[in-house]
Structure 1
Amino acid sequence: MAGAAARGVRVYGLGRYRVPAATPDRRPARPHDPALVVGFGNVGESAIRAGTRILARLLTG
C-alpha cells in the first residue's frame, strides 16, 4: 500500500468490511483468500489508466 501511495494511488484495506462465513459448528472459518477490488470515483479516464498501470507494476513486482 505504501508503494501505491508514494505514487499517488490511494489503496485501502477491505479486511474490516469482510465477514467470514461460519462453519457448520459455528467456529470461525479460514481467512478469505487475498483479493483486490478496484473502484474509481470522480476520476478522469487518464487518471484511471495511470493508476491501473501503477497497481499492475506493483503487483507484478
Structure 2
Amino acid sequence: MQKSRFWVVGGEYTSCDCEQLVQGTERVVGPFDSRTDAERTWRTLSEDHRPQAQVRFTIAQEPPAVTA
C-alpha cells in the first residue's frame, strides 16, 4: 500500500512576491495522514495571519512511501 503524508509550510516573506522567507519565521506543521487534516490546519493558520499580506502557507505532499 502506498501512503503519502502532508505538511503545512510557510511563514513571513520579504515581499508580496513570496520568494524568500524572513529568517526565523519559517513554520512547518505536520505530518498529516490526510489532505483534509492538512487543509484544516492550513485554513486556520491562513485566517490567523490574514491581516499580514506577506505571510503565506501552503500544503506540501511527500512522495508516496510503500508501507507494509
TM (norm. structure 2) is: 0.34
Name the structure with the higher strand share.
2
Q: Which has the higher contact order (CA 8 A, sep 6+)?
A: 2
Greater gyration radius: 1
